């Protein structure tokens, strides 16, 4: 199996697991936080999609505007074009939860971003994973190491995705 096919399988399986966990959650459960310092499920799902969108547009491709902006998702969701949830304060998470768009909108955005990511991934061969684009997807947070490759981007995405999947799983298991 090619490495890119393996990555695609990981991304698709993680998405299926996430969507199974989201099924049947109420709006109250989507904004519940086990402690005030934690993020809510809805916030985590939005954040995952925003970060994936930013990695693809800002790091991997550097030629396309993020779907969040390009397709008007920020406006449709009533949220800032620049926010991704990275480095958010507790007050910003509170504000997100008070104004969270319907989960169906967040999931539709997530699906659109994943569609772009998979199309990009399918255009690669295994050697392309060693390419160093030399860009930072989150310049407001800092620069990346000079040897940050496309493959490392996928490792970062999958690692973060699994971490957040575990958080959502914990939250849904301990629902109110």
Q: What is the pLDDT of residues 51-99, one digit of tens each?
A: 999 999 989 998 778 999 999 999 988 888 888 888 888 898 898 999 9
pLDDT at position 141 is 72
Q: Are 62 and 50 in contact (CB under 8 A)?
A: no
Other Cβ atoms closer than 10 A to 16: 10
Place of tokens 């575990």: 166
Instruction: Tell me how far apart the alpha carbons of residues 102 and 65 are, in angstroms, rounded to a whole number.
Output: 24
Q: Which residue has the higher pLDDT, 110 or 134?
A: 110
**pLDDT of 176 above 60:** no
Q: What is the pLDDT of residues 150-167, one digit of tens each?
A: 999 999 999 999 999 999
Q: Are 88 and 37 in contact (CB under 8 A)?
A: no
In sequence order, the 6+-apart residues with CB closer than 8 A to the CB of 58 are 66, 135, 136, 137, 138, 139
Q: Are 151 and 121 in contact (CB under 8 A)?
A: no
Q: What is the pLDDT of residues 107-129, one digit of tens each?
A: 999 999 999 999 999 999 999 99
pLDDT band at 144 (very low <50, low <70, confident <90, very high): confident
Topology of the domain covering 3-173? 1.20.120
Mean pLDDT, the chain, whole residue set: 90
pLDDT at position 135 is 82
Instruction: Tell me how far apart the alpha carbons of residues 58 and 6 are, in angstroms, rounded to a whole number.
Output: 23
Q: Are 153 and 134 in contact (CB under 8 A)?
A: no
Name the DSSP letter for residue 35: S
Q: Which residue has the higher pLDDT, 44 or 80?
A: 44
pLDDT band at 175 (very low <50, low <70, confident <90, very high): low
In the chain, domain spans = 3-173
Number of H-type helices and E-type strands within the chain: 8, 0
Instruction: Tell me how far apart the alpha carbons of residues 94 and 160 are, in angstroms, rounded to a whole number.
Output: 22
């Amino acid at each position: 199996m090619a490495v890119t096919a393996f990555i695609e399988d990981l991304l698709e399986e993680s998405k299926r697991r996430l969507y199974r966990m989201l099924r049947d959650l109420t709006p109250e459960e989507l904004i519940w936080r086990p402690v005030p310092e934690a993020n809510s499920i809805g916030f985590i799902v939005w954040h995952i999609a925003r970060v994936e969108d930013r990695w693809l547009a800002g790091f991997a491709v550097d030629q396309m505007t993020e779907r969040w902006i390009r397709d008007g998702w920020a406006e449709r969701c009533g949220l800032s074009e620049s926010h991704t949830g990275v480095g958010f304060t507790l007050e910003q998470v509170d504000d997100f939860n008070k104004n969270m768009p319907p989960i169906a909108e967040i999931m539709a955005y997530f699906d659109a971003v994943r569609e772009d990511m998979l199309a990009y991934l399918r255009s690669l061969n295994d050697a392309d994973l060693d390419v160093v684009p030399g860009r930072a997807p989150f310049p407001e947070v800092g620069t990346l190491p000079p040897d940050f490759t496309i493959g490392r981007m996928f490792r970062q995405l999958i690692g973060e995705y699994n971490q957040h999947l575990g958080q959502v799983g914990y939250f849904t298991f301990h629902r109110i």
